[in-house]
Amino acid sequence: MPAARVSSYHGPVCPACNAAIEFPTMRDGEQTCAKCGTTFEARVFHPPQRSARVLQLAQLGPDGATSCANHARNAAVANCERCGLFICSLCEITIEDGTFCPSCFDRMSKEGRVAGATTRFRDYASLAVTMSILSLIMFPLTGIPLGSLSIYYVVKGFRNRDTATASKVGLVLALLMGLGGIASGLFFLITIIAPKLI
C-alpha cells in the first residue's frame, strides 16, 4: 500500500494568495486580503467541538464496571465487534458496520473493508481511456492486447462507478476505441501478416 501523502494544510488562509488571514476575528461579508488586496466574499463558521465523555473506573467502583483494555483507569463502555476487546469511550469507533477498537479499525481500513475510510483508489476510467487510445495508435503491435486490457478496465470502471473520474460517455467511448483497436489489430493480422506466413 502506498504511503499516505503529508498534508501541509494549516486552516483558513487568503483564497487568492494563501497568505495568513485574521480568521478568529473575521465576520460574514466582503473581506480584503491585507497582502494581495484581493476582495472576497466570506461566510464564517464556528463548528461545534465534539467531546468524548470518559467514564473513570473510580467513579463507578470496582464492581460497577470493567476497565478498558487500552486505558486501565477508564471504564469500558462497549466490546469491539471484531476482537471482543473491552473499550472505553475514547477507544470506541462506531461506523456503519458496528463498533470497533482502534487497532481493528486500522486493520480493516488498511484492508479496504471500511468504505468511508478508503482514500486511495485505482482510476480504472483513466486506465481504460489510455489503453484504448494506445491500442488504436499502435494497433499493428498492441491493438489486440491493449484493446482487450481497455475492455477489462471499462468493466472495472463500470463496477466502481463511485470512484471513476470519467463519465459513462467516457467509458463507452473507451470501450468503442478498445474494440476498434482489437478490430484494427485483427485486420492487420489477417490481411498483412497471415498471407505472408501462408
Partner 1 sequence: MAKRKRIGRWNDIATRQAVYQTDAGLEIDEIDHFEINRKRVFYDDIQLVTMHRYIGVWFVVTMLVFGIGFLLIGALIREKAAVITFGIIAAPFLIMALVRVIARIDVITVFGKRSRARMRYTFRKSYARRIYAEISAKAREAQRRLAAEIQAAEPPEAPPLTDEVPMPPAE
Place of cell 483497436: 181
Build a one-symbol-per-residue string for 109-148: x at contacts with partner 1 by CB under 8 A, - elsewhere.
Answer: ------xx-xxxxxx--xx--x------------------
Binding flag, residue 29, partner 1 (CB under 8 A): no
The footprint of partner 1 on residues 31-50 (CB under 8 A) is 31, 38-50
Please work out the total of residues on this chain that contact partner 1, with binding judged by CB under 8 A.
Answer: 41
Phi, psi of 105 (to 5 degrees): -60, -40
CB of 3 to partner 1, least distance (A): 12
CB of 101 to partner 1, least distance (A): 22
- Exposed e or buried b for every residue in 77-108, given b needs 16+ CB within 10 A? bbbbebeebbbbbebbbeeeeebbbeebbeeb
Nearer to partner 1, 29 or 195 (CB): 29
Four-residue CA torsion sign, 152, 156, 158, 163: negative
Build a one-symbol-per-residue string for 7-26: x at contacts with partner 1 by CB under 8 A, - elsewhere.
Answer: x-x-xxx-xx------x--x
C-alpha span between 88 and 80 (Å, rounded): 10
Four-residue CA torsion sign, 124, 125, 126, 128: positive
> At 164, is the secondary structure helix, strand, or coil?
coil
Interface residue list for partner 1 (CB under 8 A): 2, 5, 7, 9, 11-13, 15-16, 23, 26, 31, 38-51, 53, 115-116, 118-123, 126-127, 130, 162-163, 165
